[in-house]
Chain A
Amino acid sequence: MIKTKKGLNLPISGNPSTEVDSSTAINSIAVLGSNYVGLKPTMMVDEGDAVFSGQKLFENKRNPGTFITAPSSGIVKSINRGDKRRFLSLIIETDITLDAIKFDIDHYSNSIDFLIDTGALSYFRSRPYNRMPELNTLPSAIFINACDTNPLSIDPHELIKLDQDLFNKGLHFIKSINSNIKTFCSYQNSNFDKSIKDVRYSQFSGPHPAGLVGTHIHFLHPVGQNRSVWTISWQEVISLGHLLENKTLRSEKFISIGGPNANDPKILKIKYGSNLLELTAGKILENSRIISGSVLNGHTGEGVMNYLGAFDNQVSVLPDESNDILFNWVMPGLKLHSKLPVFLSSWIKPKEFKFNVSMNGGNRAIVPVASYQEIMPLNILTTQLLKSLVTFDIELGEKLGVLELAPEDLALASYVCPSKYDYQSILDANLEKMYEEFK
């Protein structure tokens, strides 16, 4: 077992129970451009077209030969673009009377072709760069992540055991893609089923980010300019198993809904790309911010962006308000949370911390406080790495380990930052620049 000590579990209220609710009806789903890093789509459908589950929606111009397919059948309602024609979302009104395309693994000469044709290659992301895998390159390892330590997450083991056969089928398939590729599977719960041969199972324990795949890669098989791996989460492994078993794409997934403003935090079985308003209807308090993903690394959006992200396994609901405290700088802060013990709440622990969408400060230059290093379990000099990111010094950044990271790995650095930087977006911009220069 690999134990990490550094990190932070947010003491946030509204942790989901393991009760599964499959009753939510969803009529509108979307494929979001922000799901896929470095995406430039060439559309293969038009507004008003009927699309079938598994039908190709668009090709990625920057990674030719790779496609995104429709997760559910329906009618293309709109294709939305933002500034500079950046692709935002493709919205589908679902229609259960339309069939799903059948894919039979036996019709393909190799498993990669199968993944490309079904669109299931998009279940994987490569590290470094956190993008969809490129054609004609194979990774040195594939990491299956069956952990989740995000705030308000639940141990995936609880859900995997409901579909254990599908999960193992998917895992077996991944292991068999190529015998030269090592297969790692990390898990949290000691009862986790470890029955597939030649899969390297490792147990991780510790505070967040112990459950992030970036942490697992760092300890088991670190990556850099000359070595890349693919990553896939437990959810998509079940989806792969479903695809092999039923020959159609799995249109539904398990997500948890939780947070201070969730009425009844629990598990939902819900369509991929569900509309968040439909998903949360009747389940949340008024004046809430609905976040697809975790409170540390998720997206919220209105209208055409208000949909569940492809890789998000949770929806978090926060009060959409900021703290309003007079003379806060001398107040003891009995209910304010901080990684550094600068509030009285670190000594007199309150029953409940007040988590909302308050920024809690103004923008300042980086001051190297102790908390940056205290949230980083990897062998990375966090403060120096953050400074190299902010100054876009990609050469130094590469040496300090930027290529090992995806934005989620720096979410806690943004959380604890007293200068209120958003290191995730800055990392994204740095990785984009590195991709252009190094690749």
Chain B
Amino acid sequence: MKAWLRSVNESIKPKFMPGGTHAKWFPIYDAIENFIFSSTYKTTNPIHVRDSIDIQRIMVIVWLAAFPAMFFGMYNIGNQTLDYFSLVGIYNTNDWHHVLINFVGYTNDSFLSKIWIGAVYFIPLYAVTFAVGLLWEILFAVVRKHEINEGLFVSSILFALSCPPDLPLWQAALGITFGIVIGKEVFGGTGKNFLNPALTGRAFIYFAYPSQLSGDKVWIAGLSDTGITPEGFSGATPLGYAAEGGLQGLTDNFLWFDALLGNIPGSVGETSVIAIGIAAIVLLATKVASYRIILGTFLGMIVMSSVLNIVGSDTNPMFQVPWHWHFVIGGFAFGLVFMATEPVSGSGTNTGRWIYGALIGVTVVLIRVINPAFPEGMMLAILFANLFAPVIDHMVVSNNIVKRRRALSYE
């Protein structure tokens, strides 16, 4: 098998090498070759052995780490939808999803049914995201003559997981386009971006199409299509309830434990802190994510929310929400583990990573609590910190330079 694949590869390779008939498509060939075979390049002077790690490995680890959140997300889409349908007594999403869902059917307590409904919503969303992202990657790779970077795997899955389940597919396509092109490729590709590409795309559609990305109707698949909201039901996420009723609003409608498990409405991958926690363990154990950023963000969030708890407010009920609720609602955990830890757009110094994390933690609470316009703050907090990362690094570097000068100023 291996020998056969190798021989096929050797026979088509010359066509894609310089001078070959398809030389300009080399990046596509290279990407497929790297997908199947390990790199066959040999080391050159002066270094003759190399660590077995490469960017592909790092990106694949993050991609795989997102799988628990993805599978739970699919289950949760189905779970929320079936709960809602049983409440209103209608079993029809009123669009093309319905045709596909009917293969398995709307069975209230069936695990298969829930996963299937989730798959019918999520897989097209992810497929479109990946395909459109890949198209842009290929275009830039061919025109700028560089390799196709595996960062797309991560950007695409994180983008898709951060979307509401019912997002129109053309909006997903526009979002990932903006993320890949403006968030990354115009600066030279993965490694040279200063904003997190997935979040850049997410922020773009958030502001461009607010009616599909905010409000109470978009977090349960099928809700916006049927449009029926019975008495006492709004479809809002816990953050929506908290903005209205503070801690009381949360505890009246949700159990903290459910929010931890992820049995709540929200973006596809963000709801289950448990599934995201599995990813956090993988990313920290492999040292792909920086524990400094994660702890920094966590501490920043705890400190800021506790300060606001103490300060209190008569008019804004969000002030009362304690840190352990901030932790399990909205996109905090998802952003913390997958987005804030992105090494390129985050701070690049170890000291800076603590400050960068703390900045995210403080900002997310400020946006959630003080800002009246946006119930969710994690996306904006991370993008805000991305912008500050170079400044933070500059301060750390300057400090290091001063210390080095002192060491050099002779005995």
| Residues of the A chain whose Cβ atoms lie less than 8 Å from the Cβ of B30 | 362
With A364-B191, A383-B348: A322-B52 Cβ-Cβ less than 8 Å? no
With A222-B407, A360-B54, A365-B188: A327-B349 Cβ-Cβ less than 8 Å? no
CB interface residues, A 283-331, toward B, < 8 Å: 289, 291, 293, 295-301, 316, 318, 320, 322-330
- Residue on A nearest B193 in the bound complex, by CB: A365
Tally of contacts, chain A with chain B, CB under 8 A: 212
| Residues of the B chain whose Cβ atoms lie less than 8 Å from the Cβ of A422 | 44, 46-47
How far apart sit A361 and B288, CA to CA, in the bound complex (Å)?
17
| Residues of the A chain whose Cβ atoms lie less than 8 Å from the Cβ of B191 | 364-367, 419
**B53 contacts A339, CB within 8 Å?**
yes
A365, A370, A371: which contacts B192 (Cβ < 8 A)?
A: A365
| Residues of the A chain whose Cβ atoms lie less than 8 Å from the Cβ of B41 | 322, 358-359, 361-362
- Residue on B nearest A318 in the bound complex, by CB: B48
CB interface residues, B 18-60, toward A, < 8 Å: 30, 34-58, 60
- Shortest beta-carbon distance, A273 to chain B, in Å? 18
B397 at the interface (CB under 8 A from A): yes
- Shortest beta-carbon distance, A341 to chain B, in Å? 5
A131 at the interface (CB under 8 A from B): no
Interface hit among B233-241, B318-326, B398-406: B398-406
- Shortest beta-carbon distance, A439 to chain B, in Å? 18
- Shortest beta-carbon distance, B42 to chain A, in Å? 5
**B49 contacts A295, CB within 8 Å?**
yes
- Shortest beta-carbon distance, A411 to chain B, in Å? 6
Task: Please encode chain B, from 196 to 228, with 1 for each CB lying within 8 Å of some chain A CB and 0 for all others.
Answer: 000000000000000000000000000000000
**A364 contacts B39, CB within 8 Å?**
no
| Residues of the B chain whose Cβ atoms lie less than 8 Å from the Cβ of A333 | 52
With A222-B408, A357-B43: A340-B286 Cβ-Cβ less than 8 Å? yes
Task: Please encode chain A, from 343 to 381, with 1 for each CB lying within 8 Å of some chain B CB and 0 for all others.
Answer: 100000000000111111111111111110100000101
- Shortest beta-carbon distance, A74 to chain B, in Å? 27
**B51 contacts A289, CB within 8 Å?**
no
- Residue on B nearest A399 in the bound complex, by CB: B401
B343 at the interface (CB under 8 A from A): yes
A111 at the interface (CB under 8 A from B): no
- Output the residue of A340, A343, A373 with the most chain B CB within 10 A: A340
**A289 contacts B58, CB within 8 Å?**
no
How far apart sit A82 and B47, CA to CA, in the bound complex (Å)?
21
**B51 contacts A418, CB within 8 Å?**
yes
With A383-B348, A417-B51, A422-B44: A327-B36 Cβ-Cβ less than 8 Å? yes
**A360 contacts B344, CB within 8 Å?**
no
How far apart sit A343 and B343, CA to CA, in the bound complex (Å)?
20
**B51 contacts A328, CB within 8 Å?**
no
**B189 contacts A365, CB within 8 Å?**
yes
- Shortest beta-carbon distance, B321 to chain A, in Å? 34
- Shortest beta-carbon distance, A216 to chain B, in Å? 15
**A360 contacts B286, CB within 8 Å?**
no
- Output the residue of B46, B49, B55, B149 with the most chain A CB within 10 A: B49
B290 at the interface (CB under 8 A from A): yes
A118 at the interface (CB under 8 A from B): no
**B54 contacts A381, CB within 8 Å?**
no
| Residues of the A chain whose Cβ atoms lie less than 8 Å from the Cβ of B36 | 326-327
- Shortest beta-carbon distance, B168 to chain A, in Å? 32
- Residue on A nearest B411 in the bound complex, by CB: A221
19 contacts between A and B (CB under 8 A): A296-B49, A297-B47, A326-B5, A340-B51, A358-B40, A358-B42, A362-B56, A363-B147, A365-B189, A365-B191, A367-B191, A367-B344, A369-B287, A379-B404, A381-B349, A407-B46, A414-B50, A417-B51, A425-B46
Hey, which bits of chain B sit against chain A, CB under 8 A?
A: 1-2, 5-6, 30, 34-58, 60-61, 147, 149, 188-192, 285-288, 290, 343-344, 348-350, 393, 396-397, 400-401, 403-404, 407-408, 410
Given A298-B46, A327-B35; 20 other pairs, CB 8 A cutoff = A10-B49, A293-B46, A295-B47, A297-B47, A322-B42, A339-B53, A355-B49, A358-B50, A361-B50, A364-B55, A365-B189, A365-B191, A381-B396, A384-B397, A414-B50, A417-B51, A418-B55, A418-B58, A422-B44, A424-B47
Hey, which bits of chain A sit against chain B, CB under 8 A?
A: 10, 12, 151, 222-224, 227, 289, 291, 293, 295-301, 316, 318, 320, 322-330, 333, 336-343, 355-371, 373, 379, 381, 383-384, 399-401, 407, 411, 414-420, 422, 424-425
